[in-house]
Amino acid sequence: MKRRQFVAAAAITATGVGVSACARKPAVTDAESLAGGATFRWKMVTTWPPNFPGVGTGANRLAEMLDLASAGRLKVKVFGGGELVPALEVFDAVAGGTAEMGHGASYYWKGKAEAASIFTAIPFGLNAAEMNAWLYSGGGLELWRELYAPFGVLPFPCGNTGVQMGGWFNREIRSVADLKGLKMRIPGLGGEVLQRAGGAPVTLPGGEIFTALQTGAIDATEWIGPYNDLAFGLYKAAKYYYYPGWHEPGSTLECIVSRKAYDSLPPDLQEILRVCCAAVNDTMLAEYNARSFEALDTLVDDHKVDVRPFPNDVLRYLRDLSHEIVRETAARDPSFAKVYASMSKFEAGISRWTAISDLAYLKTRSL
């Protein structure tokens, strides 16, 4: 009897120890069970200089958010432009499998598909709020993914700089004639407009802009706006700072993901990726709005930058050329025509609302 009591007591004690140990061990979540405990280690290549404020740190922020939101199951190492691949080869790197992710601007890939430019910005087109409305709720994102599908790449909106500045110039722009022969760093459809106006557009990654402007390899450059232009020190290389950024009124940035890599993720990590990209899309725009006015004050007050508006006749001329080029491109490229038809229809509708909401309010605020 005593031996049986001892064995029973020992069994109860052992069971208690086991329960206690299980209680101390974190429970396995459904998501972890679904993933089989797998950890995904990805590379993200970007078009930006390493850790560059706003656009570059936005890519870093995305990687940090993915790590935290996935409890360490999706780890992404970020490479600035030129660290793993050249800045303007990000799309090829993701499509070819060199990296699982990329961060940049779609107009750099217009050589792959002309309609890619539309998803960054159309000159005189949608601003940031209108662009987000079209992408998320107006069918734009579906068209973007359709365009990239043949390359095995999946795009996500992942940042916006808002309305940009018109750029830095080492010659005054007093009339349309001053655009003739102007060598300017300006990519995308804006570059095509400048070329039609008699200028010479140049596409350069951000890290090469200052030297090109300082040495006279180019006469002018657009980059982003006061926040980033101050960081690059462009005020040291050019005399005049013009506005508005007619060429990029709401510049959307992208996170592109290898379709093969994306499909390898369990559903919860796919959703985490989508949500984190959307969060960066919002927070980056907020950052640019908060920092640009501060940087503009520094440029004007401390560095005595000459900030000027483009003459109205120049803007009207550029707008007419832009519409002309878009119509011509749509006539020869069915994909461009399809995407632009969607955007222009959306713009026509939302402009009526913007006119009696944001625009009317801003005019009232400045009375």
Contact 289, 163 (CB under 8 A): no
SS3 of 76-100:
EEEECCCCCCCHHHHHHHHHCCCCC
Model confidence at 44: pLDDT above 50: yes
At residue 366, the pLDDT reads 87
Mark out the alpha helices in 115-171 (DSSP H runs).
Answer: 128-137, 140-148
Contacts of 292 (CB under 8 A, 6+ apart): 162, 225, 226, 227
Q: Which domains does the chain have, with CATH numbers?
A: 38-159+250-289 (3.40.190.170)
Helix (H, G, I), strand (E, B) or coil at 39: coil
pTM of the predicted structure, to 2 decimals: 0.87
The pLDDT of residue 5 is 45
Which tokens in the block code for residue 273?
A: 């990726």
Q: How confident is the model at residue 37 (pLDDT cuts 50, 70, 90)?
A: low
Q: pLDDT tens, 150-205?
A: 999 999 999 999 999 999 999 999 999 999 999 999 999 999 999 999 999 999 99
Pairing of strands 240-243, 167-169: antiparallel
